[in-house]
């Protein structure tokens, strides 16, 4: 073999080696995908709103619809969850743009403005934009009526606009479009307020109108019962999580798959029932009385509820006690129940209560009775829903609740889902249904209303406590809370097929 050939071969080998090394460097230097960065970091960073729907700190730690969904998504990725809560959404937009967070999960609607700036995930519920006013004041039934009287209303308001909205909202685009069509339409944007601030102003009569999402209005009515719907500005709009817009599909693809799975499994419906399943019903007179009681009576009795609530949220125990007696320790009924928790004589004896009119004994005994009810609820029902079945049993009896589950199964519903069973409870009043049940006639409609009332009171107490806390806090969103999902929580969080109904056991109940 001649020397020239060997020299050329050596040169070629050197070039090929260089190319391979260069190629390796290029591959190594390619930027990692969003998903790879999250897994390498070991943390999913989620921006959210600190409110009674998306994220709040309860007695047992973090809670909220978006928090629970984010926790489960982080678990699917095999990483920790880091929540970045804010009181105003404007604080989260730059954090997402700058890469300080990976996702905004705050129940935000898919407005054109947001769709232009960010990539939406799948819709998980729907809201409409509503004009809100204070009960007892003039109510416009539609936009035309508001436009007709706008000038007159402004004159009586020191020539100031009578409708205000928050500064970073998608409502601005809706009202701007109205203004373009009706140049005489005037509204004011408050850059320093959040929706809760303006709803409170409307409730107190300091502001005539504002705009809010329908779910937020329904939840806020538990705290500000004076606010009411004047008219709807939009049709229902999808809400979703939001990601940065980029060519990187890695995180987005998994998010699509995640929401598809939890929808199909029914787990999403279960979580939505937990947090917003009670919002459709609202009793103005009852809520006003309850809000007054939060200030006048709850401070006296809350230490007692906290003392004996044990594994239950003390605010839930307080809500149960209000439903039973309106926090009156001497309450009596013609049917023989009495005391703060309105115990029957046999029930009181079974839980060791010797004096039903002693509030401490009554609360302690009522919690023990509730604990026993929860323990009887089948394990096929998700932990967070067992309490609703137990409360219905507390009211109408365990056997009748099991009858309602059997009826739900026969009608093709899910007997392990409170949202399905509560709709069958009223059927226990009708002979064609209760004649086929094991325990017969029952006032199932009262049991359903009983549970839904407690859920509403519970939400109001949460909102009331949160409102007091917010008054002491500021908008600093730089404080990150890293939440490690424990193994046992992680396994419960997964919407597994094993969590599907095991209602074959019903016939044995």
Which residues carry out catalysis? 324
Tally of CA atoms within 13 A in the half-sphere of 377 that contains its CB: 25
Tokens describing residue 244: 């940065």
Encode 411-442: b = buried (16+ Cβ within 10 Å), e = exposed. eebbbbbbbbbbebbbbbeeeebbeebebeeb
Q: Which residues, 6 or more positions from 375, have their beta carbon under 8 angstroms from its beta carbon?
A: none
Q: How far apart are the first and last CA of the chain?
A: 91
Distance of CA 490 to the CA centre of its chain: 19
Tokens describing residue 203: 């409730």
- Which among 246, 223, 233 is positioned nearest to 457, based on CA atoms? 223
Q: Which residues, 6 or more positions from 430, have their beta carbon under 8 angstroms from its beta carbon?
A: none
Rounded Cα–Cα distance for residues 221 and 263 (Å): 29
Identify the residue whose tokens are 């109904």: 501
What backbone phi and psi angles, to 5 degrees, belong to 449?
Answer: -65, -35
Q: Are 506 and 409 in contact (CB under 8 A)?
A: yes
Rounded Cα–Cα distance for residues 436 and 441 (Å): 10
Tokens describing residue 271: 């979580």
Rounded Cα–Cα distance for residues 222 and 304 (Å): 23
């Amino acid at each position: 073999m001649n020397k020239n050939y060997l020299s050329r071969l050596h040169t070629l080998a050197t070039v090929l080696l260089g190319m391979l090394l260069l190629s390796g460097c290029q591959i190594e230097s390619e930027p990692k995908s969003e998903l790879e960065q999250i897994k390498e970091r070991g943390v999913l960073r989620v921006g959210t709103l600190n409110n009674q729907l998306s994220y709040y700190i309860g007695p047992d730690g973090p809670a909220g619809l978006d928090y629970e969904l984010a926790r489960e998504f982080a678990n699917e990725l095999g990483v920790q969850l880091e929540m970045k809560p804010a009181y105003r959404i404007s604080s989260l937009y730059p954090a997402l743009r700058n890469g300080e967070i990976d996702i905004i999960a705050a129940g935000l609607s898919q407005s054109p403005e947001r769709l232009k700036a960010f990539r939406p995930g799948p819709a998980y519920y729907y809201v409409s934009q509503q004009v809100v006013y204070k009960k007892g004041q003039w109510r416009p039934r539609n936009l035309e009526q508001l436009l007709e009287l706008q000038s007159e209303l402004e004159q009586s308001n020191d020539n100031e606009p009578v409708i205000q909205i928050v500064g970073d909202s998608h409502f601005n685009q809706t009202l701007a479009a109205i203004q373009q069509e009706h140049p005489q339409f005037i509204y004011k944007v408050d850059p320093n307020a959040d929706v809760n601030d303006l709803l409170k102003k409307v409730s107190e009569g300091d502001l005539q109108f504002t705009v809010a999402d329908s779910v937020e209005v329904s939840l806020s009515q538990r705290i500000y019962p004076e606010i009411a719907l004047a008219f709807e500005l939009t049709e229902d709009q999808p809400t979703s999580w939001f990601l940065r817009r980029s060519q990187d599909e890695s995180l987005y693809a998994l998010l699509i798959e995640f929401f598809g799975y939890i929808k199909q499994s029914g787990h999403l419906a279960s979580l939505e029932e937990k947090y917003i399943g009670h919002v459709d019903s609202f009793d103005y007179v009852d809520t006003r009385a309850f809000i007054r009681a939060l200030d006048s009576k709850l401070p006296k009795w809350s230490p007692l509820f906290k003392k004996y609530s044990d594994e239950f949220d003390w605010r839930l125990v307080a809500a149960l006690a209000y439903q039973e007696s309106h926090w009156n320790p001497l309450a009596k009924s013609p049917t023989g129940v009495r005391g703060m928790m309105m115990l029957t004589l046999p029930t009181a004896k079974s839980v060791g209560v010797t004096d039903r009119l002693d509030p401490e004994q009554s609360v302690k005994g009522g919690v023990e009775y509730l604990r026993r009810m929860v323990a009887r609820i089948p394990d096929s029902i998700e932990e967070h829903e067992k309490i609703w079945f137990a409360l219905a049993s507390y009211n109408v009896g365990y056997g009748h609740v099991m009858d309602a589950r059997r009826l739900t199964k026969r009608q093709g519903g899910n007997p392990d889902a409170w949202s399905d069973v509560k709709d069958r409870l009223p059927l226990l009043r009708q002979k064609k249904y209760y004649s086929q049940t094991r325990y017969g006639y029952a006032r199932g409609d009262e049991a359903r209303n009983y549970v839904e009332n407690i859920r509403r009171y519970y939400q109001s107490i949460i909102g009331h406590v949160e409102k007091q806390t917010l008054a002491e806090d500021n908008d600093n969103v730089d404080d990150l809370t890293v939440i490690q999902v424990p193994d046992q929580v992680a396994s419960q969080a997964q919407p597994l097929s094993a969590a599907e109904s095991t209602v074959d056991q019903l016939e044995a109940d």
